[in-house]
Amino acid sequence: MTMAKKLVIIDTDCGIDDAQAIMMALAAPNIQILGITCVFGNAAVENVCQNVLRVLSVCEQEGIPVFRGSGGPLLGDSNSCSDHFGSDGLGDVLEDRDPQWEEKIQREHAVNAMIRLVSENQNQVSLVALGPLTNLALAVRLDPCFPQKLKDLYIMGGNMEGKGNVTICAEFNFATDPESAYIVLEEFLCPTYLASWEYSCRNALTWEFFEELINQDAPAARFMKTITSKCWAYSKEAMMNKRDVYFGPGFVSYDAYAMAACINGSVVTESIECPVRVELQGTMCRGMMALDRTNALKKSHSVFVLSKCDVAKFGQLLMESLRQPRNK
């Protein structure tokens, strides 16, 4: 019997954890990726496009179309890329850049592609957003019916306790384009699942698990070992005084938590269903997500803020994701 596959579009600012999440989707037998749309964030959008092509090449899945999207936020500085995973987003260790990469990117803009693919497969597509939400905000402006044509939406981003990673109170993807995060959480009325920064950190894996993960005997694992080799974000020692202040030590692959929720809902064992809103003002809280658990805002739409994860199941998905390409 053939199982009907889940149709997925991945919107990504392809850093190392996005690469991990994309590989997880590529490895999942129940997932069919319709396209990958790129957005600035962990790196400039041109680097993001090249990073996605690189991941698809390692996994021998070059047939999946890749689209270039927004190079900056709706408002403000478009040079707001992070160097969390190095200046190229993949740890600054890869040589032999492909001079022909632009020819491998689809001519259609990412936002148009997103709207077209979802319109062609109404109520069947899961959108997994792993970077700043600029492409999604633009999609709902171009096609106000876009959200209602989605099956569901999975986001890595935001925070639930006001603990930030780029500012005191805000998480990177939301802080990088707060207006887009606001628009998406106000206007996307489809079922929405949020893997926040705290959710990821609270469900960290051990550094021993990380060693086992990247030392598997497969091209994808060797690739992951290379790109994490010089990146301080994957250094146990360097992270000691950062996340540990709040969450204790551990290896956290942020974007993979949102992807895992899409691939297998049973990875999530508990979530908080409530309205949320993104703060746009303020000198400390701009980009912070607020959970409105008493419905003070009188919003009609609630989202699922993920709170507990089956870490063993999640770890299994990570392990399988680096055993690619298959049959090798």
- Choice between 130 and 149, CB closer to Ca ion: 130
Phi-psi category of 277—alpha, beta or left, where left has phi over 0 and alpha has psi -120 to 50?
beta
Distance CA 44, CA 39 (A): 8
- Choice between 11 and 279, CB closer to Ca ion: 11
- Choice between 13 and 177, CB closer to Ca ion: 13
| Residues at the site binding Ca ion, with contacts judged by CB under 5 A | 13, 18, 130-131, 255
Q: Contact, 70 vs 111, CB < 8 A?
A: yes
- Choice between 13 and 143, CB closer to Ca ion: 13
- Choice between 13 and 279, CB closer to Ca ion: 13
Distance CA 147, CA 44 (A): 26
C-beta of 144: minimal distance to Ca ion in Å?
Answer: 26
Q: Contact, 137 vs 86, CB < 8 A?
A: no
C-beta of 156: minimal distance to Ca ion in Å?
Answer: 6
- Choice between 64 and 143, CB closer to Ca ion: 64
Q: Which two tokens stand for residue 92?
A: 């600054």
C-beta of 328: minimal distance to Ca ion in Å?
Answer: 27
C-beta of 63: minimal distance to Ca ion in Å?
Answer: 23
C-beta of 81: minimal distance to Ca ion in Å?
Answer: 11
C-beta of 15: minimal distance to Ca ion in Å?
Answer: 5
- Choice between 214 and 258, CB closer to Ca ion: 258
C-beta of 292: minimal distance to Ca ion in Å?
Answer: 26
- Choice between 38 and 111, CB closer to Ca ion: 38
C-beta of 233: minimal distance to Ca ion in Å?
Answer: 12
Distance CA 256, CA 195 (A): 9
Q: Look up residue 313 and give its amino acid.
A: K
Exposed, middle or buried: residue 1 (CB in 10 Å: 0-12, 13-18, 19+)?
exposed
